Structure 1
C-alpha cells in the first residue's frame, strides 16, 4: 500500500509511544504527512525525527493535552499549514486500575478527560476542516466498554461514551466525514511488556490464554485496522465499532 496516503494529512493523538507512535509511522510509510500530539514533548520529538528521516514526509509536533481546546486548535492549524486535514486518529488515553470505591477524584477526572474529553475536543476542532475536504475520524475504544472487568469500571465507562459519540458523529458528519472506532483488546505495548516482566500472579498469562487466538495483539496490528478505516478501502463503513482483540469479544 505504498503511497496510499500520499497527499493526505493526518493528526494522531497519543503519538509519543505505543499504538499512536506505530500508527503515525505507518501513515508516513504510506506517504501521509502527520501531526503528532501527546503530552511528552521529548518523546514526541524523537518519534517525529525518526519518522521524517525514515520516510521523508512532513511531520509537525504539538505537545500538550489533547483534551485542551487550545491544543486541539493548534493541531488542526498545523494540519492546515501542511495543506489541510484528511484524517483524525484519536489514540490518546488513560486507564486507572481500581475498584469504583477506591477510585479517587483525580483519577476520575483524568480518565474522563484523557479518554472522552480528548476525543471530543479533537473531533470538535477537526470537524469543520474534515467537512471541507471530506475525510475520516477513527477513535480508540476497548473491549472494556462491553465486557465488564473488575478494576476497569471507569475506563470501560469512558470507552462506552466514546462509542456512543462515534455513532452520533457518524450521523451528524455524514455524508462528507466517516466516523468509526476500533475496540482494541490487550495489546503488546511497552506498558504491557513491563507488566509481564513483573507479574508474579499470572494475570497476563491468564488473559492471554483466554483469547481465542491465544496471544495478545501487536501495536502494528491495531494500527492496520486504523489504516483500513481511514482509507478508501472502507468507503462504505461509518458508525461502526470494529473489534480488534484476538477474539476477546467472544471469550
Structure 2
C-alpha cells in the first residue's frame, strides 16, 4: 500500500488529510510536537483505515517531535522505509512567528527566525532526507506533460468536491509532447505537498513575518520542481480555515464563519488522483469561493 509522511498531523488540515488517506488504505507516518494529541489522532487514523478494504487497520506510526530536529526528521523517514517506502511527503507543520500577529515594526526577530526554521528550513531538511525513497516511488503513473508547472485553483467544499479539476491545465501544449524540440515531461516518482498560504503572495497587515516564510517556501518548492522533474511538487494555498493556527494569529476574529479543514481535503486528493503537474495551487474552501490567506 502507498505510504505518506504528514507533519503537524495531530489537528487541523494535517489530521483531516491523514484521515482521508487512511480511509483509502494508505500507511502513514505522522508527527506533532505534543505526544498526547498525536496519539489520539493516531487512534482515529487507525480506525479510519478499518474500512479501507484491506482487512486490517491502516498502519500508523506516530512519532512526537519537532521538525526542526534533524534526528526527528531522520526517524520519520526511517519509519516510512520500514513501512515499505514513501510515496507522498506532506510538509504541513507550521508556526506563525508571533502570536497574535503583529506589524513588522514590532515583529520579534527571534519569532521570524523560528518561522523560517519551521516553515522553510525544516521542510527542505525533510525533503533531503526523504529524497531517495521519493525517487524510488512508483505510485504516480507516468504521463507526458510539456509544461511542468501549473498555477490552478482546486475545487473544494463537500465530499463530492463539486468544482471540477483539470489535471492538465495546459492541454493545448500536450499535442507537441515527444516532438524533437519539446521533450516530454515524465514524472515517475513520488509527490511532495507543501502547505503554503495566500499571505505568501498578498500583502496583509501583520502577516509579514509568516507571509515571508511562506513566500520562501513557495520559491523553494518551485526550484525543487525544476530540479526534480521525476517528482510531483505541489505548493498549495488552502485558504481560510477554522484552525488553532488562525485563532492564535487573530484571536479577536470570530472563527465560526470559516470552513473546517476537511472541506479542503477533496481538492488535495484531486492532485493525487489526477497525477497533477508540479505547481502552485489554490484550494477554494467553499464552493465557488476565493481563498484569502
Aligned-residue RMSD, C-alpha: 2.2
Partner of 2:164: none
Residues 195 and 237 in structure 2, CA contact (< 8 A), matched pair in contact too: yes
Does residue 199 of structure 2 align to residue 144 of structure 1? yes
Q: How does 1:52-131 map to 2 (within 5 A)?
A: 52-55=46-49, 56-95=57-96, 96=98, 97-131=101-135
Query: Residue 98 of structure 1: CA displacement?
Result: 1.2
Does residue 277 of structure 2 align to residue 237 of structure 1? yes
Q: TM-score, normalised by structure 2?
A: 0.72
CA distance in 2: counterparts of 1:28 and 1:187, whole angstroms: 22
Measured against aligned partners, the alpha-carbon deviations of 1:84-132 in whole angstroms (never above 9, x if no partner) come to 1000011110112111121113211211112112211211111111002
What SS does the corresponding residue of 2:196 show, helix, strand or coil?
strand
CA distance in 1: counterparts of 2:46 and 2:202, whole angstroms: 39
Q: TM-score, normalised by structure 1?
A: 0.84
5+ residue gaps, structure 1: 1-6, 209-214
CA distance in 2: counterparts of 1:194 and 1:92, whole angstroms: 15
Query: Residue 193 of structure 1: CA displacement?
Result: 6.5
Aligned residues: 228
| Alpha carbons of structure 1 residues 123 and 195: separation in structure 2 relative to 1, 3 Å | closer
Whose radius of gyration is greater, 1 or 2?
A: 2
5+ residue gaps, structure 2: 50-56, 138-188
What SS does the corresponding residue of 2:136 show, helix, strand or coil?
helix
What SS does the corresponding residue of 1:57 show, helix, strand or coil?
coil
| Alpha carbons of structure 1 residues 40 and 50: separation in structure 2 relative to 1, 3 Å | same
Runs in 1 of length 4+ with deviation above 4 angstroms?
190-196
From the two aligned structures, give the one with the greater helix fraction.
1
Partner of 1:19: 13
